[in-house]
Structure formats: structure tokens, C-alpha cells
Amino acid sequence: MSLIKQILIGFLILVIQSGFAQKSDVINRWDIKTSYYRTPLLNSSIKMNCIGMDANYRLVKVLDVGIYAGYGRMKMGMSFSEDHYYHQISFGGNTNLHLLPLFLSSEKLRLDFYLSAKLGVNYNSYNSKYYDESDYNFSWGTYFGTAYYFGKHFGLFAEAGYAKFADNAFHMKYGLTFKF
């Protein structure tokens, strides 16, 4: 085999290998989180149970962007045996900056630490037998999160941080995470 053929074959193998090295399960993937959290009622110390979902797409090794939505409902007894219901629907956009890929080059990390920022809107409604009222408020939050994946696609996560939903306060949420 001539020297030129050996160089061409070597170059071809190098190009093919570098193409496989660029293929990663870290980027171009979805991360779906289902969560439970508690949020305070507007101008109150009472907290309402909520459920939520985040859907994020990993753009590059350390950054993903996505959307979130949440729902909470609370029944409160009022005077004169009247029931009062409070509903909150939240939705908006978020972004996560993943910290471990900045320091470790492994693509198969089971542990994830990230900073998260959320920006959105809350729709709040209050209704009872005698009146209905609703309003919107701007919401935002900054969080520190961690996730642990038990396998390639399934894990648990927790996030804690400062947020403005109905108030300015410390918030925490946790739940299941799926990546694919």
C-alpha cells in the first residue's frame, strides 16, 4: 500500500472517529421534570400545594432552555359556611446552566448541579358562591438545583431558591426527571 493511501485511510478514520466523538447524549436532548411545590397565597402566610412540569431542551453542553407550567388549588372555609376556592396557574420560560460539565468532561454523569432562572406569569382566581375575582401577576425566580439519574433516562431532582410568585420568598420544589 502506498504512503498516500495510508495517509488517506488514516485521515478518513480520524474524521469518522471525530464525528462519533461529537455525538453526545448530553446535547440535543429533552429533559422533562414533574414536580411538587408549595406556594403562598397572595398577601398571606398560607401555602398552597401545587404540581408542575418543566420541558427543557439542551442546546449546548452546559445550557438548556424551555418552558414551565404549574397548577395549584385550595379550598378554604369562610364565614357563613361558605367555601372559597383559590386557583393558581403559572407558566413561562426558563433556562438552566449546568455546572459539572464545566469541570468534568464525562458525558455519562449521573449527578447534575445547575443554576436555573425562570420568568413568567401567574393567573390567580378566587371564587365562591357569592363572587368571582381573578388577576395576573408577573413571576420570576432564581434557583440552585441538583438531579441524580438512576439510569440513562430516569432520576430525581430538587431545586431551592428565591422567587416572586405571590410574594418574594424562599421556594423549594422536587420531583421526577426524565431525559431522552
Angstrom CA distances, 81 to 75, 84, 129, 130, stand at 12, 10, 10, 12
Chunked into runs of 10 residues, the chain (180 residues) has average pLDDT values of: 60 44 63 92 78 96 96 77 81 96 84 96 84 87 96 95 80 94
Q: Count CA within 13 A, CB hemisphere, residue 119.
A: 3
Q: pLDDT value at position 71? A: 96
Taking the domains of the chain in order of start, what are their residue ranges? Answer: 27-179
Q: pLDDT value at position 108? A: 76
Angstrom CA distances, 89 to 76, 115, 118, 157, stand at 18, 24, 15, 22
Q: pLDDT value at position 41? A: 72
Type of residue at 126: Y
The backbone torsions φ and ψ at residue 165, rounded to the nearest 5 degrees and listed phi first, read -110, -90
pTM greater than 0.85 (yes/no): no
Top CATH class of 27-179 equals: mainly beta
Q: pLDDT value at position 91? A: 96
